[in-house]
Structure 1
């Protein structure tokens, strides 16, 4: 559905070329993590399960060390890490361990240039404030909830939710890379906020909450296309070509991993805190958001970038929003200062590269070559 070199046909029996793949402009490693997602698995079945983003990040770092030892000619290239959705947790955790390990070495094996977070869950405290606004206030794509009584109820629960997330934040230490124990305050916040704030909005509409411009198609996450992807990736000849054990079933969205991360309290933890240190170490961050996504909506993502404490906070806050052009057409709005950039993408949902493949390829290419602000000169506020 996204940035890889191939798409799959509707029947799920053959691959088609993706003419807007990100590997047209870069070398890309596609990594199934945490363990037991995608095709990945532990060789030793007795190994402890991964239940939090920091521990998962340690596995990623070990893999990257092995990779760059094997392919040392690539170690001098700029290295970026990208992902979407829960990658709002994963990427700060991965970047933090890379940065910490590099600070310990006089000659690091590889150097991290930036994070690219697409419609990510990075700062729940800020982002959960905007579900009512996205549902009840008229967005570019209409209103999800028209009942003022229902909206008042959502706001009441949202205020209660904020207090629970604050308790989680006050009891969390996500800057530690040691294995984290289950956090009761974070578990309660996750269960309560998702049940009282998010679920009632989802249940009140038949729209696709990952793209509110569309009806839910009925497949996994409301996309029928996911069924075709899983069908293709479970073909024996595909697994054989990729070197995957025949007994492994491809996990598109692992309910086991989801449950493990939920019951550890990882969902509500403030991985945004790790971004402060990264920015202060001049590691750039691009937070982009398709603005038709409800689940990790652009309002909340923009809010966390504005509220983030770091050395360039004041300059970033003073910036106006600029119209962002892609291939000569208005494609979004952008705010940028120093290493931090927020980009709102128009007419795109949670999986923005699926909805706007040409625009997101342009975004990615300009970002890695330092030209993201090129041709975006018209500034205005309160977009």
Structure 2
């Protein structure tokens, strides 16, 4: 993982010359976390783009614990809304006007960075919207290189990029017949595509917490305490960005080759899924990882799944060979850390510490 930081640092000088950071402490009235939280903007590209981010330092040892960059997919979904307040951040939404500390936050033993990306998602803003995946990657590279220049204490720690996957990564790997049949059933029964145990009558995002988070972050009190300008509206999902990606053809681009290249270069990849998720379903995810063409593909395909246990209780199944790990968590939907917070924290810490095994 350190090799990625070294690559970023090597290219930092050229990219970050036009970027500056605005940063402030997060008031305890916003998030009564036991750790240190900071929030702010990265202003770059001649001050035409402004990426909003939240840094939740490790509650254990910030100077040595790993760094996790969390990005929600969509594309166009806010990482602060979904990832931080909805799943794994130091605080969770607790109704439309309050938050509560999260005992199973992923910053218990790691430094977390949540970025509302691309620009115009969440509190990020720009008059120059992102048109395609290349634009988005260029902006995130600028953010990361500048982050390491401004926060050098993190430069030598292990670094992990995690993302809630978009639908296309899995659905392209599920048989069309099964997909069409399941789509019809989901729609007819008004089931939530994020958790087929639940109903979703309005056809929206199907999570009450999402509505609460949007209301909370758009309130004048929250915005003032976070230093957000009055003219910046919180955009929980950017529909225009999604349309731009569709128009560019990037939603149909195959990203599998990137994963295969990373595995062949000995980077570690974790794929986890809730077994009640339909959108990114376990069958599709399993098919995806089994068909990755990399140097240990045969060994991975031959390896049987094993029970994944926590405190002697089976909480899922897993398979791991060299750098590739696949985990299916029982009784969880699309947002595993929201449905199974303790199990999700145990999973990610086990994987980071390279001790993903039955106990």
Shorter chain as denominator, the TM-score bin is 0.7 to 0.9
- Residue 238 of structure 2 is matched in structure 1 by 254
| Contact preservation (8 Å) 1:306, 1:313 | yes
Distance (whole Å) between structure 2 residues aligned to residue 245 and residue 253 of structure 1: 19
- Residue 216 of structure 1 is matched in structure 2 by 200
- Residue 229 of structure 2 is matched in structure 1 by 245
| Contact preservation (8 Å) 2:170, 2:281 | no
Which of 324, 329, 346 aligns to 2:308? It is 324
Distance (whole Å) between structure 2 residues aligned to residue 38 and residue 327 of structure 1: 38
1:1-383 to structure 2, matched below 5 A, reads: 1-10=86-95, 12-42=96-126, 45=127, 47=128, 49-86=129-166, 121-122=168-169, 124-126=171-173, 128-129=174-175, 132=178, 154=180, 198=183, 200-216=184-200, 218=202, 220-375=204-359
> Normalized against structure 2, the TM-score is what?
0.72
Larger RCO (CA within 8 A; separation ≥ 6):
1
1:314 deviates by 1.0
Distance (whole Å) between structure 2 residues aligned to residue 35 and residue 85 of structure 1: 19
| Contact preservation (8 Å) 2:170, 2:280 | no
Distance (whole Å) between structure 2 residues aligned to residue 4 and residue 284 of structure 1: 23
Q: 3-state SS of the aligned residue for 2:121?
A: coil
Distance (whole Å) between structure 2 residues aligned to residue 347 and residue 281 of structure 1: 34
1:309 deviates by 0.5
Q: 1:360 to 1:217 in 2, by over 3 A?
A: farther
1:326 deviates by 2.0
1:221 deviates by 1.1
| Contact preservation (8 Å) 1:217, 1:223 | no
Q: 1:53 to 1:372 in 2, by over 3 A?
A: farther
Q: 1:130 to 1:302 in 2, by over 3 A?
A: farther
Q: Which runs of 4+ in 1 moved over 4 A?
A: none
> Normalized against structure 1, the TM-score is what?
0.68
1:339 deviates by 0.3
1:130 deviates by 6.8
Return the structure number with greater helix share.
Answer: 1
1:241 deviates by 2.5
CA RMSD of aligned residues (A): 1.9
Q: Which runs of 5+ in 2 are unaligned?
A: 1-85
Distance (whole Å) between structure 1 residues aligned to residue 331 and residue 133 of structure 2: 30
Q: 1:374 to 1:70 in 2, by over 3 A?
A: farther
Distance (whole Å) between structure 1 residues aligned to residue 101 and residue 254 of structure 2: 38
| Contact preservation (8 Å) 1:220, 1:226 | no
Q: Which runs of 5+ in 1 are unaligned?
A: 87-119, 134-153, 156-196, 376-383
| Contact preservation (8 Å) 1:124, 1:269 | no
Distance (whole Å) between structure 2 residues aligned to residue 131 and residue 371 of structure 1: 38
Distance (whole Å) between structure 1 residues aligned to residue 131 and residue 358 of structure 2: 41
Distance (whole Å) between structure 2 residues aligned to residue 77 and residue 131 of structure 1: 46
| Contact preservation (8 Å) 1:291, 1:297 | yes
1:131 deviates by 7.2
1:320 deviates by 0.5
1:35 deviates by 1.2
